[in-house]
Amino acid sequence: MNNRLAHLDLMRGLAALMVCAGHLRAFLLVDSAKIQSPGLITKALYFLTGLGHQAVVVFFVLSGFFVGGGIVKAHSQNKWVWKLYAIRRLSRFWIVLLPALLLTLILDLLGRHLFPDGYNGVYRN
C-alpha cells in the first residue's frame, strides 16, 4: 500500500476512534448545555467528541473508496465476479462482526455488574 492510501486508512481509523469517544462522552459526561461557564479545555473536549456523526460519514466514505477501488481494479483486469465479491465481503464482515458483538456483550455485562450507576445515568447528572 502506498503512503497516500496508508494516510487515508489512518484517517479512517481516527474517524472510528472519534465515534467511540463520542459514545464514551455521552455515557460519562453531562450534556454540554448543562455546563455553566465551560472553560476553553472543556469546550475543546466537547467539540472534538461531538464530531461523531461527521466521523461516521468519513469512515464510510473512506471504506467505500477502499472497497470500490478493489472492484474497479478487478473489473479493469476482467477478474471481477459478483459471486466471489459477495462471498469475500460477507465473510470479511462476519469475521469482524461476530467477535465485536461478543466482546460488546461481555463488556456490557461486566460494566453493568461493576458500574451499575453508569447505566442509570448517575455520571451524567
User: What local confidence, expressed as pLDDT, does residue 27 receive?
Assistant: 82
CA dist., res. 40 & res. 44, Å (int): 6
- Please list the helix, strand and coil fractions of the chain in percent, rounded to the nearest 5, in that order: 85, 0, 15
Q: Tell me, what amino acid is at 70?
A: G
Coil/strand/helix, residue 32? helix
Question: Cell numbers of 62, please?
Answer: 473512506
Query: Would you give the DSSP letter of residue 30?
Result: -
* Model confidence, pTM: 0.73
User: What local confidence, expressed as pLDDT, does residue 105 receive?
Assistant: 96
Residue range 74-107, pLDDT digits in tens:
889 998 899 998 998 899 889 999 999 999 999 9
The domain segmentation of the chain, as residue ranges, is 1-76, 81-125
Residue range 34-74, pLDDT digits in tens:
889 999 999 999 999 999 999 999 999 999 998 888 888 88
